[in-house]
Each structure stands twice: as C-alpha cells, then as structure tokens.
Amino acid sequence: MIYKSIQTVLMLCMVTLLCTGTALAQNTGTIEGQLTDQKSGEPLISANIFIQSINKGAATDADGNFIIENVPYGDYQLRISYIGYSTKNVSVTVDEPTVTVNQTLVQNLTELGDVVVTAFGVERQVNQLPYAAEKINTEQVTRSGSDNILSALAGRVSGMKVETASGIGGSTDIVLRGENSLTGTNQALMVIDGVPYANERFNTGSQEAGFDGVDYGNTGVDINPQNIKSMTVLKGPAAAALYGSRGSNGAIIIETKKGSPGQDLVNVRYNTSVGASMVDESTFPTYQMEYGQGYLGGLYKQANPFPGAAPGDSILTTRYDADASFGPAFDPNQMVYTWQSFDPNNPNFGQPMPYAAPENQPVEFFETGTNVQNSININGGIQGGAIIR
C-alpha cells in the first residue's frame, strides 16, 4: 500500500515537470535575421546585435545572418552596431517561437575616423582605450609624395622623434618613448597586418661609430605608402605590453589595403607624383677659405712612409686626421701631403699637393633633385569562394 502511494507521488512529480518544461519552452523564442548595407545591399560580416536588458547577443556570419536563441517572451531593444556605420536601436516583440528582424545600416565615415586598429587587428574606439593611441591621416602622408613612409611621419604624431639620415637611402629612426637604452635599440616596433616587423639598420660598424662607412638604410623604407590603409601609434607601457618586450619602445600598427565587400571585380588605381628638392643657400653655412686642416700650429714633418723612400727621408704633412680648420694659413706655393696622399683609393695617393684652399664651397656640390613616383594598385577580394563585386 505504501509502495503504491510513493509510485503515485512520483508520477505526479514527473507530469508536473513535463508541464513546466513545456510551459517554459512556449515562453521563449528566437530572434533571427540578416544585416546588410543600406546602399549596396551587401551583407555586413561580424556586426554586433545585443539585447542589454537580458545580456544576450550575437554576431553576423559571412552572409550577414544572426540568431539569438532562448529569448523570453516580451518587448526588447536590439542595439545593432558595426565599425564604420551608425549604431541603430530596433524595438522587437518576442511573442512567437521565431521572430525575423532584417535590418540595414548606413555608413558613417565620421565615426570611422575615431576607430583605431590595436593589437592583433582588433578595432577599438579611441575613447575606449586605456592607453595612449594616435591615428595618423594616411591620406595626407601619401599626398606628401615621399617614397619613405618613415620620414613622412615627421611632425605628425606628438612625442614621436623621427631622425632621418642626410644621405640618399639612409636610415630613418623612430623613437616614441625617449632613449631607453644606451647599448640596444630604441626603435619603435612596427606591426604590419599583425606581423611584427623590426625596423633595423644595416650599417657598417665604422659608420655607426660616426666615422667613414656605408649606411644601407633600414627595412622600414620598403613599405609602400600607397598600400597603407591605416596607421595607429601606440605609446606608453600599457600599449607596449600588447607585444611584450619587443614593444617596450612603443609600436606603430599598420594595416594594409585589401579587398572588401562592395568593391568592383577589379579596382585599378594609378598614382603619380613629381617632386623637386634644392638647397637654400641662404641657410647653408659659409666655410672659411684661409686656413687649412688642423687645430693649432703649423705643418708637420714625419718619416716618409711610402715605398721607395730613402732612409731618413721626411715629408711635410697637415693634420689630416683632424676634424677642425684651425691649421696654418694656405700657401699655394707650398707642396704638402694631405689626407688624399694617404688614401690608397685616391688618385693622388703618395703624391704631394699644393697647400691651397678648395676651389668651390660645399654648397656648389648640390644640384636640383627630382623625384618621380608611379604606382599601380589593383584591389579585389573573394567571399565564400566567389569574387566580390
């Protein structure tokens, strides 16, 4: 008798649970739909749809579709947002198992200007970042006509120090957080499409020490300015932590152009620019032409070091190793051995020369330079195995 009573109670509990589950299932629904561009009709990928009151949301897939499941019956506000588009709020009533919400968004280029690309290609609003970040206007950089994107950054970012060598194709150093190392590099880390890119020099040791040598430039000059979509400069320790010790001197995040929905089958763009450079003689230093190389004192006698010299033979030389012009006064009638006489690669090697001033001032070495740049950019993309049109 007791066994039958327990069995009856258990049966009643099971029926109650089934009824409750059915009632709950009938009181929740699914919100689904598609998000597209209002102008082109193209689907918007990875857009955000969020219901703040119940803390539920979803992102659109490659076709712009989204699904939010298990939404209790009731009235809600959908917040739809996408980078480069105006945020939209939509009222939705869930009173059936499936509610379809198809929406379009309008581009907002003003909002896009406040978006920066941070670590690993993540796009963030500037006012949401916990560290200093500054976006560079790449259009102005490319319009400058410079073929060196690094030197073109001079004066465009607060706190950025751009040091450019005077020689053609010379190195360009970018320092963001000051000189932090006496022996190592102080260069800012460059990150191109998520790949760290060290802007290292390739110079000879003597040139690095400030003497004669060759400056081969650094790797950053290989970046084509016409291929850059956006540039963001990350400054401060918090930004450096995104890339570990390599980013201890700050980082420059570069995103290159790529195909995207809404483009033509083949988008071809031709760019050309012509520039000229010249020396302003009014600002160029004037060199004195009365005294020769040296510090103080006259000419010097030393043993003749050249092959075939007789024992005890001496020659008259200048202080060819000096970097100042406080030597004796020039005298064209005096034959002396200058620095050219001791350079095996110089045609005057081993020969004395008249002790006279140069015929020309250094400014006369320069001529008007021209720089012509031509580039052709071909952009396109595929989506789901099909070429984007």
pLDDT tens per residue, range 148-182: 777 777 777 777 788 776 555 567 778 876 776 66
* Residue 91 burial (C-beta neighbours within 10 Å; 0-12, 13-18, 19+): exposed
71 or 3: whose pLDDT is higher? 71
Q: In angstroms, what CA-CA distances link 53 with 72, 78, 308, 315?
A: 11, 10, 98, 95
13 or 188: whose pLDDT is higher? 188
pLDDT band at 101; cut points 50, 70, 90: very high
286 or 148: whose pLDDT is higher? 286
**What is the average pLDDT across 108-130?**
52
343 contact partners, CB below 8 Å, separation of at least 6: 349
> Among 234, 80, 220, which residue's Cα sits nearest to residue 157?
234
**What is the average pLDDT across 230-239?**
73
Task: Kindly report the backbone phi and psi dihedral angles of residue 269, in degrees, each rounded to the nearest multiple of 5, phi listed first.
Answer: -130, 130
86 or 245: whose pLDDT is higher? 86
pTM of the model: 0.46
d(CA 70, CA 55): 12
**What is the average pLDDT across 293-304?**
84
Q: Which helix (H) or strand (E) holds 89?
A: strand 88-94
Domains of the chain by start residue, with CATH = 2-110 (2.60.40.1120), 113-257 (2.170.130.10), 300-365 (no CATH)
Name the least confident of 20-34, 41-55, 296-310: 20-34
pLDDT band at 208; cut points 50, 70, 90: low
d(CA 235, CA 177): 7
366 or 84: whose pLDDT is higher? 366
Q: Is 315 helix (H, G, I), strand (E, B) or coil?
A: strand
Name the least confident of 72-81, 82-91, 202-211, 301-310: 202-211
Name the least confident of 147-161, 332-346, 365-379: 147-161
Q: Which helix (H) or strand (E) holds 355?
A: strand 353-355
Q: Calculate Rg over the CA atoms of the chain.
A: 36
pLDDT of residue 384: 55
pLDDT of residue 145: 64
Contacts by 278-284 with C-beta closer than 8 Å and gap 24+? 278/366, 278/368, 278/369, 279/363, 279/366, 281/363, 284/362, 284/363
What share of the chain in percent tops pLDDT 70? Answer: 70
| Mean model confidence pLDDT for the chain | 76
pLDDT of residue 204: 62
d(CA 151, CA 104): 42
d(CA 141, CA 148): 10
pLDDT band at 2; cut points 50, 70, 90: very low
pLDDT band at 209; cut points 50, 70, 90: low
Q: Is 249 helix (H, G, I), strand (E, B) or coil?
A: coil
**What is the average pLDDT across 20-43?**
77
pLDDT of residue 30: 92
